[in-house]
C-alpha cells in the first residue's frame, strides 16, 4: 500500500458499513494507529485506540455484531516465539466522515489478553465469526 504513513502495512480490512473505506495498520514497533483509507488510497482519518500498544500488530478484521460495526486488531505476532501473551483489541468502528484527513480520534477499546496453552506461537492472521464474536 503506497502511503507515507503506512511504511509497513501489516493488516487491511474493509469497513462493514462504508463500501469505499478500508482500515489499515502498520506492523510491529509502529504507533498503535488505525488508518481509514478510501479505496482510492487517500487518507480519510486515523484512529488511535485508547490504551493500546503495538508490540506486533499482524492483522485486522472487521465485523458486525449486536447491530454495530467493529474492528478487531490482532497484536499476535511473535517471530522469535518469546511472547508470554498476545492481545486482541476490539474497537467500535467510528464514522470518519467528519474527520479532517490526518486527524486522530481516540476511541475506547476492549483488550482481550490471550495466552496459548502450549507456549508461544507466531500468528500472522485472524478472522472473526460474527455469530461467535462475543465469546472472544
48 lies in a domain? yes
133 lies in a domain? no
115 lies in a domain? yes
| pLDDT band, residue 131 (cuts 50/70/90) | confident
Average pLDDT rounded to a whole number, residues 51-56 = 90
108 lies in a domain? yes
> Residue 95: its pLDDT value, please?
74
Average pLDDT rounded to a whole number, residues 120-126 = 85
CA–CA dist 87, 80 (Å, integer): 17
pLDDT, tens only, 80-96: 888 888 889 988 888 76
105 lies in a domain? yes
Please choose, from the candidates 31, 33, 37, 32, the residue with its C-alpha nearest in 3D space to the C-alpha of residue 14: 37
Average pLDDT rounded to a whole number, residues 67-89 = 89
134 lies in a domain? no
Domains: count for the chain: 1
- C-alpha distances in angstroms, 43 versus 10, 11, 50, 101, 107? 17, 16, 21, 6, 18
111 lies in a domain? yes
40 lies in a domain? yes
Range of the domain at 23: 9-128
For 68, residues 6+ apart whose C-beta sits below 8 A from its C-beta are: 92, 93
Amino acid at each position: 500500500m503506497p502511503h507515507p504513513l503506512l511504511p509497513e502495512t501489516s493488516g487491511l480490512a474493509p469497513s462493514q458499513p462504508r463500501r469505499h473505506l478500508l482500515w489499515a495498520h502498520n506492523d510491529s514497533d509502529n504507533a498503535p494507529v488505525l488508518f481509514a483509507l478510501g479505496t482510492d488510497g487517500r487518507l480519510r482519518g486515523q484512529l488511535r485506540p485508547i490504551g493500546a500498544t503495538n508490540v506486533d500488530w499482524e492483522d485486522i478484521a472487521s465485523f458486525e455484531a449486536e447491530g454495530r460495526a467493529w474492528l478487531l486488531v490482532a497484536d499476535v505476532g511473535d517471530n522469535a516465539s518469546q511472547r508470554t501473551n498476545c492481545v486482541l483489541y476490539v474497537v467500535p468502528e467510528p464514522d470518519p466522515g467528519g474527520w479532517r484527513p490526518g486527524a486522530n480520534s481516540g476511541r475506547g477499546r476492549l483488550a482481550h489478553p490471550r495466552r496459548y496453552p502450549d507456549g508461544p506461537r507466531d500468528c500472522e492472521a485472524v478472522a472473526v465469526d460474527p455469530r461467535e464474536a462475543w465469546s472472544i
